[in-house]
Amino acid sequence: MLVKLHIQNYALIDQLSIDFTEGLSIITGETGSGKSILLGALGLVLGNRADLSSLKNDEVKCIIEAEFNITAYNLQDFFETHDLDYEDTTIIRREILPSGKSRAFVNDTPVNLSSLSGLKSKLVDIHSQHQTLQLSDLSFQFSILDALADNTKRVASYKRGLKQYNALVNALKKLLANQESENQQYEYNLHLFKELEEADFKVEEQEELEKKLDILNNVEDIKLNLSEAIQIATGEEFGAQNLLHSLENSLQKISGYAKQYEELFSRISSVKIELDDVITELESANESVDFNPNELETINDRLQLLYSLQKKHQVATIQELLEIHERLAEKVGSVENASEIITEKQKEIDAVAEKLDSLAALITKARNKAIPKLKKQLESLLSELGMPNASFSIEIQPSEQYLSNGKDDLQFLFSANKGGNYGELKKVASGGELSRIMLSIKKILSQNTKLPTIIFDEIDTGVSGEVSNKIADIMQQMGQYMQVIAITHLPQIASKGIAHYKVYKKEVKGITTSNLKQLTKEERIVEIAEMLSGKDISESALTHAKELLN
């Protein structure tokens, strides 16, 4: 409910703070006193567009702040979704700067107007002639029926199931589309896959093959140099091996004279041992080097296959070929296993559809049971509101489609006259009739669901007498379940409120401002008497005002 409203530098309002109460509150005031300004300020703080014309003084920023008690509205999920801090007592603030820019905050967290507008629908319902257009909206008609049918949890469960069902159906469509596309490419992909499968390349194979090929292509040069190296090392007269042997013998002869000579002898001995080992490996390498034309051909063929596949797939390494091989395996497998995957997906869809059908049947049953009750309550309320011949024809027909809230098509038709033909509300009901129908619906909804604060903006236009009394009674009854604020010109309605506020203008130093104050009991008697008889209040008007209040 709206707990407090603070307005600063907005339209004709300098500064104003007002507390609101539970139940039915009344706002009265002369035409042009500023009642619409209050609605404008409330709309602004809840996300309506603003411009510099909103500022009373265009050199100072405009601030509008509204405090709401939202304990009963179950809005934690909304706050979490929009990344806002939840508080049972939530404060919304809107600022319009002299530059024309505006800022909005929820519990001191900056918020965009889109999120604020979403929050607005959950906090305040401003009932005006324009809102009666909702009556012809199918989803609104369903919401009325489902409120009486106690379908809230069933419909919420159905919607979750429908979301899952649609996701599965879309996944199946994608599978089928992919299958059709993959089928067209299957033979070619299979050929590419088998080609790579048969090639069976290993990650480091290319480097090894290229090294072997380099050796085979240079056998003569390798063998010549190996032979020369062996000759240099083992030559009889000047070979490194013989010379090193002579050096070793010379140092051995003097190694006993000093430690220095002994160390030199030891080092030369180590070099001779290493040289002997190198010569052995040189001889072995020389013997193993042999030109093998068959091996050369095999390696060339293998490398040509590799280069051809790399060029074909536009890659440069075996690793990339292996990755392509893996992807091709998936594509080929997806086609070969498609039927099985599609069958499993269809089974999932069928299982969810079965649950949806069961839920939809329960929703339909509850709706059918609620229709006579809704029809009876609406017609009874409208009769009290001066429409004794008002009649509704409400029918639901089964649908083959999964709709957003079940599997029902709804016909919500109306006739205002006895024996008249039924038609769509927007076509057969006048503006005044639509207002009374909407009031009746809100009355029924207030007893069956948690509605936000509702503001009736001069719903009494064009009515008087007993009808106005009944409108007042209905709003008073609604006030038992929710916060109701009524802007009215009728004393019969004004007298029914728990709290009564008056909007008035005053002029100070040639400047007109709008103000709002809560009336005391005595002030309220005077205000209602003035509504009855005008500025010249008679004793009979005061007596009548007291009677109305009592």
Average pLDDT in the 452-468 region? 79
Is residue 126's pLDDT more than 70?
A: yes
Report pLDDT digits (tens) over 303-326.
888 888 889 999 888 889 989 999
Residue 151's closest CA among 394, 378, 407?
Answer: 407
What would the two tokens of residue 169 be?
Answer: 């159906």
More confident: 239 or 166: 166
Helix (H) or strand (E) holding 484: strand 484-487
Q: Residue 181: its pLDDT value, please?
A: 67
Is residue 17's pLDDT more than 80?
A: yes
Report pLDDT digits (tens) over 418-457.
888 899 888 888 888 888 898 899 899 888 877 789 998 8
Is residue 459's pLDDT more than 80?
A: no
128, 129, 248, 463 from 41: Cα distances, Å: 16, 19, 111, 28
Query: What confidence tier does 88 reach under pLDDT thresholds 50, 70, 90?
Result: very high
70-74, 180-184, 297-301, 442-446, range with the lowest pLDDT: 180-184
Q: What percent of the chain has pLDDT over 70?
A: 97
Q: What is the 3-state secondary structure (H, E, C) of 24-80?
A: EEEEECCCCCCHHHHHHHHHHHCCCCCCHHHECCCCCCEEEEEEEECHHHCCHHHHH
Query: What confidence tier does 130 reach under pLDDT thresholds 50, 70, 90?
Result: low
Report the distance separating Cα 26 and Cα 460, nearest Å.
Answer: 13
Helix (H) or strand (E) holding 15: strand 13-19
Q: Residue 248: its pLDDT value, please?
A: 86
What is the amino acid identity at position 196?
L
Is residue 247's pLDDT more than 70?
A: yes
96-100, 185-189, 453-457, range with the lowest pLDDT: 185-189
Query: What confidence tier does 92 reach under pLDDT thresholds 50, 70, 90?
Result: very high
- Residue 218, φ and ψ in degrees, nearest 5: -125, 30
Q: Any idea where the domains of the chain sit in the sequence? A: 1-128+451-519, 177-338
Report the distance separating Cα 36 and Cα 51, nearest Å.
Answer: 17
What is the amino acid identity at position 457?
D
Residue 13's closest CA among 518, 516, 514, 517?
Answer: 514
Report pLDDT digits (tens) over 396-408.
999 999 999 999 9
Query: What confidence tier does 525 reach under pLDDT thresholds 50, 70, 90?
Result: very high
Q: Residue 538: its pLDDT value, please?
A: 85
Mean pLDDT of the chain: 87
Average pLDDT in the 39-59 region? 83
Query: What confidence tier does 206 reach under pLDDT thresholds 50, 70, 90?
Result: confident
* Domain 1-128+451-519, CATH number (from 3.30.1380.10, 3.30.420.10, 3.40.50.300, 3.40.190.10): 3.40.50.300
Q: Residue 336: its pLDDT value, please?
A: 67
Helix (H) or strand (E) holding 201: none
Q: What is the DSSP string of 246-291?
A: HHHHHHHHHTTT-HHHHHHHHHHHHHHHHHHHHHHHHHHHHHH---
More confident: 511 or 407: 407
Q: What percent of the chain has pLDDT over 90?
A: 37
Report the distance separating Cα 233 and Cα 462, nearest Å.
Answer: 126
Average pLDDT in the 228-257 region? 85
- Residue 505, φ and ψ in degrees, nearest 5: -105, 150
Residue 94's closest CA among 44, 147, 138?
Answer: 44
Under 8 Å between Cβ of 459 and 471? yes
Q: Residue 174: its pLDDT value, please?
A: 85
- Residue 501, φ and ψ in degrees, nearest 5: -115, 145
Under 8 Å between Cβ of 432 and 387? no
Average pLDDT in the 371-382 region? 94
Task: Answer yes or no: pTM beyond 0.85.
Answer: no
Q: Residue 526: its pLDDT value, please?
A: 93
Q: Residue 67: its pLDDT value, please?
A: 95
Average pLDDT in the 250-259 region? 88
Beta-carbon contacts of residue 373 (< 8 Å; ≥ 6 apart): 148
Residue 147's closest CA among 335, 368, 370, 334?
Answer: 370
Report pLDDT digits (tens) over 470-485.
988 999 999 998 999 9
More confident: 149 or 206: 149
Is residue 380's pLDDT more than 70?
A: yes
Query: What confidence tier does 57 reach under pLDDT thresholds 50, 70, 90?
Result: confident
What is the amino acid identity at position 155?
V
Q: Residue 145: its pLDDT value, please?
A: 93
Look-up: residue for tokens 């009374």? Answer: 436
